[in-house]
Amino acid sequence: RGPQTSAEVYRFLLKKDMVNKFPLFSAVYQICFEGREVKEFITCLQNHPEHI
């Protein structure tokens, strides 16, 4: 379910022009499908507005 769900969520966010509002979902998609390194997800978490 994980990668497929991330693809569905990402496509939905693209259609609604909301990708930038959900960086964690975007990071998961990019890790699964675009070769983004997993360690960058930690950076994304650390820089998430809820944690600053």
E-strand stretches of the chain? none
Domain boundaries, the chain: 2-51
Higher pLDDT, 5 or 46: 5
pLDDT at position 40 is 84
Predicted confidence at residue 52, as pLDDT, reads: 55
Q: How far is the C-alpha of 48 from the C-alpha of 43, rounded, in Å?
A: 9
Whether residue 14 is predicted with pLDDT greater than 70 in this model: the reply is yes
Query: Rounded CA gap, 10 and 7, in Å?
Result: 5
- Terminal CA-to-CA distance of the chain, rounded, Å? 30
**Main-chain dihedrals φ then ψ at residue 10, nearest 5 degrees:** -65, -45
pLDDT at residue 51, as a whole number: 56
Note the pLDDT of residue 18.
Answer: 96
Q: 25-52, pLDDT tens digit by residue?
A: 998 999 999 999 998 888 888 887 775 5
**Whether the Cβ atoms of residue 48 and residue 24 lie closer than 8 Å to each other:** yes
